[in-house]
Chains A and B, each alone.
Chain A
């Protein structure tokens, strides 16, 4: 049995009949071919599938597509050209914020939200806030440095940082 779902994805209205068991990440990847959203663990642990729903980060692998009926979804593709996202991407490039890149979309989306919400970031706060995004390559040093660099440029870091 299929259910109707109506979403706005990266500014475009999408109407589709989907199985209720389809989670948002598979909906984005398999039905809309938006493959920046990665699937790691598929049970809400690794954070690779983090996307924005109504402006707030959520884990796309543990949100049913039908549950998000009416929501506005933004994936990493939809943040292309966004000034804050470009600042983050530059910083990830400069400070070696990635190796294999699998966790990077989730890292970028989570960090984007963090930099928008907070104006008091230091290294510890970044580590705590990013603890829900797992990286198996970098040991996190480069990721934290990248986010701190972007936070300083975006005015989200503590003045002393």
Chain B
């Protein structure tokens, strides 16, 4: 199918992009790997498209000392190939290599994936587990939102009218921290049915565990993470994880409950063993 007609602008600067996105009916186009299929299928009516592809500021990657700021238009493949510095002991390059297909990863961007907020998007889960902060910009100026607070529901974010993600700031994780990643997808490159990422740092006694593809915002399981750090057995963890998943109130089917429980356990066990 072909998209319905729309007006198109390709701003060269961030200021220009923000001004264009302030117009009514405007929608930002990042890598387009989700939006253009939706346009082709005529599922996403768009009056005016503001293409962020020529805005150099959005491709900048800066070392901020304790953090790294990735411009929102950094392509997945740039993470996968190590073209940008890694703040995550290899987790971000791994995550970037594990979804969709190379041709999609060459064009798709981290900011676009986060802004779309498909519950199964890998960057969403990664951003939450890594305690990323999203730098937003709009007509009213700049603000910073924690990744954890950015996603409000499926395809529903804290982004205001005309606002866009400028950069994703990821704190440099401690070198002593280990990660584990578990994901179930129906086929290679398909959106995940379930995914979990766990972090364990025995040196600082810190652990994090996040479930993605959870029919909404990623869910944090701080207690399970702490118990894994404390050496709880896998039976204990399984029981606790299942209870916590039910308590999350997402009405998971029994099959999903089993899948999510297993992924949470795998991710944290991998982090604990690494």
C-alpha gap A113/B5 in the complex (Å):
33
Q: Assess whether B203 is interfacial by the CB under 8 Å rule.
A: no
Give the Cβ gap from A63 to chain B, nearest Cβ, in Å.
6
Q: Does A59 contact B (CB under 8 A)?
A: yes
Q: Which residues in B have their C-beta under 8 angstroms from that of A132?
A: 100-104, 189
Nearest CB in chain B: distance from A86 CB, A? 22
Q: Which residues of A contact B37 (CB under 8 A)?
A: 43-44, 62
Task: Enumerate chain B interface residues (CB-CB to A < 8 A).
Answer: 1-8, 10, 29, 32-33, 36-37, 39-41, 49, 51, 53-54, 77, 100-104, 106-107, 187-189
Q: Chain A contact residues: over half helix, strand or loop, or mixed?
A: mixed
A-B contacts besides A44-B36, A58-B103, 10 pairs, CB < 8 Å? A21-B3, A23-B40, A44-B37, A62-B107, A63-B32, A66-B8, A67-B10, A67-B32, A110-B102, A132-B102
A101 within 8 A of B: no
CB-contact partner of A20 in B6, B101, B106, B187, under 8 A? B6
Contacts of B51 in A (CB 8 A): 64, 66-67
Query: Which residue on A lies nearest to B51, using beta carbons?
Result: A67
Q: Closest A-chain residue to B102, C-beta based?
A: A57
Residues of chain A within 8 A of B49, CB atoms compared: 20
Say which residue of B39, B54, B104, B188 sits within 8 Å of A21 (CB atoms).
B39
- Quick check: A129 and B5 within 8 Å, CB to CB? no
In contact, A20 and B7 (Cβ under 8 angstroms): yes
> Given contacts A42-B40, A56-B77, A128-B188, are A67 and B103 in contact (CB under 8 A)?
no
Among A57, A127, A128, contact of B103 (Cβ-Cβ < 8 Å): A57
- Expressed in whole angstroms, the Cα–Cα distance for A150 and B4 within the complex equals 42
A-B contact pairs, 22 of them (CB 8 A): A1-B5, A23-B2, A42-B40, A43-B1, A43-B41, A44-B33, A47-B103, A57-B103, A57-B106, A59-B107, A62-B33, A62-B36, A62-B107, A63-B32, A67-B10, A67-B32, A67-B53, A113-B102, A128-B188, A131-B187, A131-B189, A132-B104
Q: Cα distance A2–B158 when bound, in Å?
A: 34
Distance of A126 Cα from B266 Cα, bound (Å)? 26
Q: CB-nearest residue of chain B relative to A21? A: B3
Residues of chain A within 8 A (CB-CB) of B77 are 56
Complex-state Cα separation, A67 to B31, whole angstroms: 9
CB nearest to A19 among chain B residues: B5
Instruction: Give the CA-CA distance A44 to B101 in the complex, in Å.
Output: 10
Q: Which of A21-38 contact B (CB under 8 A)?
A: 21, 23, 26
List A residues at the B interface (Cβ < 8 Å): 1, 3, 19-21, 23, 26, 42-44, 47, 50, 53, 56-59, 61-64, 66-67, 69, 110, 113-114, 127-129, 131-132
Total of A-B residue pairs, C-beta within 8 Å: 92
Q: How far is the CA of A19 from the CA of B102 in the complex (A)?
A: 28
Closest to B188 in A: A131
User: Which of B6, B100, B106 is most buried by chain A, counting CB atoms within 10 A of its CB?
Assistant: B106
- Contact partner of A62 (CB less than 8 A), chosen from B4, B8, B40, B187, is B40
A69/B32 contact (C-beta < 8 A), A20-B49, A47-B103, A131-B187 known = no
| Contact residues in B for A129 (Cβ distance below 8 Å) | 102
CA distance A53 to B40 in the complex (A): 20
Q: Tell me which residues across on chain A come within 8 A of B104, comparing CB atoms.
A: 44, 59, 132
Residues of B within 8 A of A114 (CB): 102
Query: In the complex, what distance in Å separates the CA atom of A56 from the CA atom of B5?
Result: 28
- B10 contacts which chain A residues (CB < 8 A)? 3, 66-67, 69
Asked if residues B103 and A43 are in contact (CB atoms below 8 Å), the reply is no
A21-B102 in contact (CB<8A):
no
**Are A47 and B101 in touch, CB under 8 angstroms?**
yes
With both chains docked as a complex, state the minimum distance between the C-beta of A45 and any C-beta of chain B, in angstroms.
8
B97 to chain A, nearest CB (A): 10
